[in-house]
C-alpha cells in the first residue's frame, strides 16, 4: 500500500532513501533546510553536493517547509547526523502538535550524542512527545548510499521493540535489490551502527599507513569484540553484533572507499590533519564524534575499548598514529574472549 512519507534530511543517505521510497510507489516529500538544494532537486532532479551525477526520480518532491512535508504523513523518516538530530526533532515535535498527527518514526542516524552518550532513539523519544508519535524504528546495516543509488544488492535491519512497527518499516523499504530484516534489539542495532564508524576510521588509518590485509582483519575482529562489550554492558543482545547492523555494517564501512569514515582514516594515516580532513569531506564523519563519546562512556562504565581509546588519543590529543598502534600491540597478552 502506498504511504505518505516525509523524509527529513537530504544528504547522501536521506536523499537516496527518499528516492528509493518514491520508486517503491510511496508518496514522498523530502525536507531540507537548504533552498538552493530543494530547487535543484525539484527542477533538475539533481543533488550534486551529496550524490554527484545521480539523477533522482522526477516523482520525488522536495521542500524547505517542514510542516508542508509532514502534513498528512503517516511515516516520518529522519536522516540527520547525530549533531543536528535534536534540533530537527524539536522542530518536528512542534509541527506534529500543531497538526495533531501521530506518525510512525523511522531513523537512520548512526552515532552517540556528545556528553550525554545517548543513542538516536533515546534522543528522539525525549524530544518527540509520545502523543505525537507511534513507535521509533531504527533502520541500520551495511548500506552505502552510493551502492543503493545504483540498485546494488543491499540488506539491512529494521529494529524496534514493537515488532509490528519493525514489520511496517520492512514493507515500506523492501524491494528487489533492498532486503530488510526485522530485529527487536534497538540497543544492539544502535550501538553497532554508531561504534563501527570508529573502527572504520582505524581501518582507513592503518591502510593509509601502508599496513595490509592481516592488520585490517585484526582491527575489524578486535573492533567487533569491543563494540559488543560496550553494547552488551548496556543491555544489547550479543547476537545482534553478528548481524547486519553489527558485523555487516562494520565490514562494509571498514573496507569501502565509499565510506566517509574509512576515507577520513586513510587521509589521517597519510599524514593529513584532522581539521583539514573534516573540512574537505563536505559530509558528516560521524566516527570522529562517536570516538569521543564512546571513549568517555567506556571509561565511565569501565568497559575495555583499546582501539577506541587509541583512536581517541590520536584524534583528540594529537598522538602520533604509529605510536598509538605500537602501544596497542604492546599491551599485556590476553585471552580472545575476555
Ligand X SMILES: O=C(CO)COP(=O)(O)O
Least distance from C-beta 110 to ligand X, angstroms?
5
Nearest CA-CA partner of 113 in 255, 296, 323, 327: 296
Using the 8-state DSSP alphabet, how is residue 86 labeled? Answer: H
Q: Beta strands 75-78 and 104-107: pairing type? A: parallel
The binder of 84, among ligand X, ligand NDP, none, by C-beta within 5 to 8 A per type, is: ligand NDP
Find out whether 13 is annotated in a ligand binding site: yes
Say whether 330 sits in a helix, a strand or coil: coil
Find out whether 260 is annotated in a ligand binding site: yes
Work out the burial of residue 34: count CB atoms within 10 Å of its CB; fewer than 13 is exposed, 13-18 middle, 19 or more buried.
middle
Least distance from C-beta 286 to ligand X, angstroms?
6
- CA 93, CA 280: separation in Å to the nearest integer? 33
Least distance from C-beta 18 to ligand NDP, angstroms?
11
The binder of 244, among ligand X, ligand NDP, none, by C-beta within 5 to 8 A per type, is: none
Contact 65, 98 (CB under 8 A): no
Find out whether 145 is annotated in a ligand binding site: yes
Catalytic residue check, 196: yes
Find out whether 184 is annotated in a ligand binding site: no
Give me the residues that bind ligand X (CB under 6 A), please.
Answer: 110, 142-144, 197, 200, 249, 252-253, 259-261, 286
The binder of 142, among ligand NDP, ligand X, none, by C-beta within 5 to 8 A per type, is: ligand X
Cα-based distances in Å from 162 to 88, 90, 111, 135: 24, 23, 22, 7
Instruction: Select the residue whose beta carbon is closest to ligand NDP and give its number.
Output: 11
The binder of 259, among ligand X, ligand NDP, none, by C-beta within 5 to 8 A per type, is: ligand X
Least distance from C-beta 326 to ligand X, angstroms?
26
Of 4, 35, 61, 196, the active-site residue reads: 196
Cα-based distances in Å from 194 to 262, 292, 332: 14, 12, 28
Return the C-alpha torsion angle 108, 13, 250, 265, nearest 10: -120
Say whether 288 sits in a helix, a strand or coil: helix
Give me the residues that bind ligand NDP (CB under 6 A), please.
Answer: 9-14, 32-34, 50, 79-82, 84, 87-88, 108-111, 143-145, 283-284, 286
Find out whether 312 is annotated in a ligand binding site: no
- Cβ-based nearer residue to ligand X, 96 or 285: 285
- Cβ-based nearer residue to ligand X, 3 or 190: 190
In sequence order, what are the residues at sequence separation of 6 or more whose Cβ sits closer than 8 angstroms to the Cβ of residue 121?
107, 136, 138, 186, 190
The binder of 9, among ligand NDP, ligand X, none, by C-beta within 5 to 8 A per type, is: ligand NDP
Find out whether 10 is annotated in a ligand binding site: yes
Find out whether 143 is annotated in a ligand binding site: yes
Return the C-alpha torsion angle 77, 115, 193, 103, nearest 10: -20
- Cβ-based nearer residue to ligand X, 119 or 260: 260
- Cβ-based nearer residue to ligand X, 3 or 249: 249
The set of cell numbers assigned to 232 is 552488551
Least distance from C-beta 283 to ligand NDP, angstroms?
4
Q: For residue 105, how many C-alpha atoms fall within 13 Å in the half-sphere facing its CB?
A: 27
Find out whether 222 is annotated in a ligand binding site: no
In sequence order, what are the residues at sequence separation of 6 or more whose Cβ sits closer than 8 angstroms to the Cβ of residue 189?
138, 140, 157, 159, 183, 240, 245
- CA 181, CA 144: separation in Å to the nearest integer? 17
- Cβ-based nearer residue to ligand X, 26 or 144: 144
- Cβ-based nearer residue to ligand NDP, 149 or 325: 149
Catalytic residues: 196
- Residues annotated in the binding site for NADPH, as ranges? 12-13, 33, 50, 110, 145, 260, 284, 286
Binding positions are 9-14, 33, 50, 110, 141, 143, 145, 196, 249, 259-261, 284, 286
Residues annotated within a binding site for sn-glycerol 3-phosphate: 110, 141, 143, 196, 249, 259-261
Amino acid at each position: 500500500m502506498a504511504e505518505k512519507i516525509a523524509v527529513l534530511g537530504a544528504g547522501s543517505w536521506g536523499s537516496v532513501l527518499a528516492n528509493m521510497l518514491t520508486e517503491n510507489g510511496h508518496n514522498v516529500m523530502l525536507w531540507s533546510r537548504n533552498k538552493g538544494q530543494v530547487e535543484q532537486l525539484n527542477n533538475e532532479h539533481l543533488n550534486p553536493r551529496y550524490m554527484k551525477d545521480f539523477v533522482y526520480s522526477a516523482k520525488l518532491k522536495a521542500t524547505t517547509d517542514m510542516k508542508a512535508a509532514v502534513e498528512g504523513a503517516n511515516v516520518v523518516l529522519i536522516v540527520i547526523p547525530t549533531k543536528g538530530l535534536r534540533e530537527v526533532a524539536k522542530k518536528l515535535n512542534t509541527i506534529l502538535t500543531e497538526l495533531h498527527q501521530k506518525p510512525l518514526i523511522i531513523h537512520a542516524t548512526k552515532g552517540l550524542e556528545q556528553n550525554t552518550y545517548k543513542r538516536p532513539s533515546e534522543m528522539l523519544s525525549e524530544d518527540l512527545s509520545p502523543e505525537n508519535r507511534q513507535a521509533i524504528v531504527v533502520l541500520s546495516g551495511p548500506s552505502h548510499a552510493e551502492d543503493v543509488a545504483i540498485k546494488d544488492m543491499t540488506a539491512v535491519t529494521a529494529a524496534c521493540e514493537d515488532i509490528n512497527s519493525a514489520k511496517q518499516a520492512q514493507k515500506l523499504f523492501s524491494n528487489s535489490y533492498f532486503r530488510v530484516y526485522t530485529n527487536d534489539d534497538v540497543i544492539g542495532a544502535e550501538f553497532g551502527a554508531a561504534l563501527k564508524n570508529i573502527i572504520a576510521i582505524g581501518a582507513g588509518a592503518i591502510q593509509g599507513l601502508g599496513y595490509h590485509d592481516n592488520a585490517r582483519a585484526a582491527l575489524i575482529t578486535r573492533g567487533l569484540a569491543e563494540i559488543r562489550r560496550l553494547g552488551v554492558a548496556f543491555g544489547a543482545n550479543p547476537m545482534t553484533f553478528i548481524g547486519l547492523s553489527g558485523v555487516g555494517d562494520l565490514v562494509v564501512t571498514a573496507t569501502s572507499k565509499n565510506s566517509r569514515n574509512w576515507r577520513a582514516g586513510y587521509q589521517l594515516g597519510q599524514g593529513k590533519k584532522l581539521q583539514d580532513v573534516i573540512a574537505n569531506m563536505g559530509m558528516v564523519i560521524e566516527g570522529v564524534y562517536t570516538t569521543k563519546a564512546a571513549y568517555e562512556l567506556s571509561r565511565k562504565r569501565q568497559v575495555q575499548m583499546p582501539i577506541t581509546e587509541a583512536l581517541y588519543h590520536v584524534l583528540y590529543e594529537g598522538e602520533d598514529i604509529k605510536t598509538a598502534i605500537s602501544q596497542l600491540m604492546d599491551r599485556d597478552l590476553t585471552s580472545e574472549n575476555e
